[in-house]
């Protein structure tokens, strides 16, 4: 423990900053998980700008590196755009009443003695 006042104050400040940074990082991670687990196109498109701005805030505060923020945003953009291109699920086709294909019989092989 420091004996002077200035380092003590600096320790108090750094503890507050660390807790604040952890809060912002955890909140952003939760938003990213929520976006990744979203299957609805419209919901993902609505959620993406909020997540993107939170990532930018982390980079601005130097909680994460600028390039990491860019990589995260790029991956999330691809994810959201991929959802928009996906086709809606269709009903499975009805089964026809034809006979199932017969399996070939297992015949023992002739092995030379």
pLDDT of residue 93: 67
pLDDT of residue 16: 96
46 located within any domain: yes
pLDDT of residue 28: 96
pLDDT of residue 2: 83
pLDDT by 10s per residue, the chain, length 113: 788 999 999 999 999 999 999 999 999 999 999 999 999 989 999 999 999 999 999 999 999 999 999 999 999 999 999 986 555 566 666 666 666 666 667 766 776 65
15 located within any domain: yes
111 located within any domain: no
- Quote the number of domains for the chain: 1
39 located within any domain: yes
The CATH number covering residue 50 comes to 1.20.58.110
Q: pTM to 2 decimals?
A: 0.66
User: Domain range holding 77?
Assistant: 10-85
44 located within any domain: yes
18 located within any domain: yes
Radius of gyration of the chain from its Cα atoms, rounded to whole angstroms: 28
49 Cβ contact list (under 8 Å, min separation 6): none
81 located within any domain: yes
pLDDT of residue 3: 86
**Helices and strands per DSSP (H, E), number in the chain:** 3, 0
């Amino acid at each position: 423990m420091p004996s002077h006042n200035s380092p003590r104050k600096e320790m108090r400040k750094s503890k507050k900053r660390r807790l604040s940074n952890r809060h912002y990082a955890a909140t952003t991670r939760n938003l990213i998980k929520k976006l990744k687990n979203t299957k609805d196109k419209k919901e993902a498109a609505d959620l993406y700008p909020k997540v993107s701005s939170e990532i930018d805030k982390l980079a601005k505060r130097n909680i994460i590196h600028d390039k990491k923020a860019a990589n995260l945003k790029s991956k999330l953009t691809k994810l959201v755009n991929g959802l928009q291109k996906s086709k809606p699920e269709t009903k499975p086709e009805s089964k026809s009443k034809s006979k199932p294909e017969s399996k070939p019989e297992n015949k023992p092989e002739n092995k030379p003695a």
